[in-house]
Amino acid sequence: MPWFDGALIAGPTAQFDLADRGLTLGDGVFDTALARDGRIVFEAAHVARLAAATRALGFFVDPARITQAMRAVADGAGELAAIRTTVTRGAGPRGLAPPAEPRPVLWASAAPLPPALPFASLTLHPTDIRRNDTSPAARWKTLGYLDAVLAAGEAQAAGFDEALFCNTHGRVACAGTGNLFAVFGTRLVTPPLSEGVLAGIVRAELLGLAPGLGLVVEERPLELPDFLGAEAVFLTNSLRGLAPVRAVGATAFAEHPAVTALSEALRAAMRA
């Protein structure tokens, strides 16, 4: 059962204010977490990021309220589930200016995931749609995901699993639903957040795990040709964990021992 504004509700629908700014303006944020047997993986990090995102937008949601909603829908969600938690600023008058006293609305839901999804490999299609690194919204999971939706359709039509975004400078930013990493020998490179990158939960975990595996972590800009010249490339997000990339466009990538080691370390961290 979904959670809506304070309680579990029966059925998939709820009464929703048509003046809610999340609906009319995309004025809100969301989080997607993985639940295993009712336990939310990296729960504290997900709650903290969603609470921080609401503060960045200028309104407050109690982290305890977020935790309550996530746990309520994760309980009984099955062996493997995606937990989607959404917060809007709430209803407001016509126009762009936020209400002086917002009443945020929070809801959460759980959806079953196929067991084969986590850690499965995929392919990426470079899109001409640019990630706006000048926008504060690029740092948070806001409700305005139309660029990602359009790029995903483009990638699927071209026979790929995901889209790869470059930013306004033409440098590699991210995938449609995840962070990107490249392996160069013993160096693990990922674009910094300033390139228009979301602060991914699994991204942060891997940045902490990599040094213990003998990898030197570098957060630096990556031109697309440099990225394509890596020994290995992979994507991370909360549902996939670590997904090795088999190809970016016409460039193919083989299995790599560093990616295997990082996958094993991440699996252990997710079980912990």
Instruction: Quick: pLDDT tens for 66-102.
Output: 999 999 999 989 999 999 999 999 999 999 999 999 9
Going by pLDDT thresholds of 50, 70 and 90, the confidence category of residue 232 is very high
The strand pair at 80-88 and 39-40 is best described as unpaired
The strand pair at 241-248 and 122-131 is best described as parallel
Q: Is the pLDDT of residue 255 over 90?
A: yes
All structural domains of the chain with their residue ranges: 3-112, 122-271
Residues 200 and 195: their CA atoms lie apart, in Å, by: 14
**What is the pLDDT averaged over residues 168-182?**
98
**CATH number of this structure's domain 122-271:** 3.20.10.10
- Tell me what pLDDT residue 11 has: 79
Give the rounded percent of residues in the chain with a pLDDT score beyond 70: 100
- Tell me what pLDDT residue 13 has: 81
Q: Is the pLDDT of residue 225 over 90?
A: yes
SS3 label, residue 210: helix
Same fold, 3-112 and 122-271: no
Q: Which residues of 29-66 are buried (b: 16+ CB within 10 A; e: fewer)?
A: bbbbbbbbeeebbbbebbbebbbebbeebebebeeebb
Q: Is the pLDDT of residue 64 over 90?
A: yes
- pLDDT tens profile 2-59: 999 898 998 778 888 999 999 999 999 999 999 999 999 999 999 999 999 999 999 9
- What's the token pair of residue 19? 């003046």
- Tell me what pLDDT residue 87 has: 98
3-112: in CATH 3.40.50.720: no
Q: Taking Cα atoms as reference points, which of 141, 133, 2, 5 lies closest to residue 74?
A: 2
Q: Is the pLDDT of residue 263 over 90?
A: yes
Task: Share the mean pLDDT of the chain.
Answer: 96
Going by pLDDT thresholds of 50, 70 and 90, the confidence category of residue 247 is very high
CA dist 187 → 151, 175, 216 (Å)? 29, 20, 5
Q: Phi, psi (5° rounding) for residue 197?
A: -110, 135
Going by pLDDT thresholds of 50, 70 and 90, the confidence category of residue 239 is very high
- What's the token pair of residue 140? 């948070």
Residues 13 and 124: their CA atoms lie apart, in Å, by: 35
- pLDDT tens profile 115-131: 999 999 999 999 999 99
SS3 label, residue 116: coil
Q: Is the pLDDT of residue 254 over 90?
A: yes
